[in-house]
Homo-oligomer: A and B are copies of this chain.
Amino acid sequence: MQPPFHRLEEFVELNAEDLEFVKAWGTTCRRIERNRAIRREGDPVEGVFFLMSGWVGSSIMLRGGKRQIVKIHLQGDMLGFPSLSLAAAGETLEALTQVDICPIPNRALANLIEKRPRIATGLLLSSQKERVALMHKISWIGSASATERLTAFLLDLYDRLEAADLVDDHGFEHPLTQQHIGDLLGLTAVHVNRTLKELEVLGYIIRDKRRIRFTDLKALRMVAPNFPPKYAGRDAWLRLAGEKANSTDAR
């Protein structure tokens, strides 16, 4: 089975050496059980993680015991990157399913930036993509109804799962409780329940245990507050590096 490098190769074309480099990450993977923390807020930042498989939630604790889940990470994502700018980890990374993660220590990252500029560029652009995603999330958390937030979230998840080839028959299995979804969207679990039911009554989705099937994607995309932006693709690297990219590409 191919490791999930689709995110790394989204913006840059990796050559043989690059691939060898990232494949080395896979040699030190760790398995973490469901509901265990990978890293807690305040822990020292020893590096980042590459998520090989499973679902991970990244959350921030608020006063009063509330938590805000900032992002659901899927396989192929880099975890803990934002905390590189902090003196101590600023987010709690929690395994929502059994997961396999590969720690990438700071030293290895530094080595990467120096030796493999194309991977570094890919990471830089991926970070910008994450910023765009956060910006959009702010835009619909800030001024959208519960129904709109929920559809935006579901569609985002759908698109990302599709990119990771985890969508089956217009639906997917997920490990999220309604409390999780509430913490993601800034809603209470009770209201998430009502809103999910509303979408089901409208005939847009069908729920069965922890499986969601999308029965009217078109209608859902009409409900959502903003359509997903179009990402740059591989030519972003071309735009950045000009003709350089072509001449150094091994394949």
A residues bordering B, Cβ < 8 Å?
Answer: 11, 45, 60, 62-63, 66, 68, 70, 81-88, 90-91, 106-107, 109-110, 113-114, 117, 120-121, 123-132, 134-144, 185-186, 225-226, 229-233, 236, 239-242, 244
Contacts and interface: CB of A to CB of B under 8 A. Distances in A.
A120 to B, nearest CB: 7
Specify which of A85, A109, A127, A186 lies most central, judged by the most chain B CB atoms within 10 Å of its CB: A85
Nearest to A241: B110
B242 A135 contact: no
Given A68-B142, A113-B117, A231-B85, A63 B225 contact: yes
Contacts of A141: 138, 141-142, 186
Contacts of A142: 68, 141, 185-186
Contacts of A109: 240
A127 B120 CA distance: 13
Given A106-B240, A132-B86, A242-B110, A139 B231 contact: no
A interface, over-half SS: helix
A229 B90 contact: yes
A131 B132 contact: no
A144 B230 CA distance: 31
A182 to B, nearest CB: 9
Given A87-B231, A106-B239, A230-B88, A120 B113 contact: yes
A45 B109 CA distance: 28
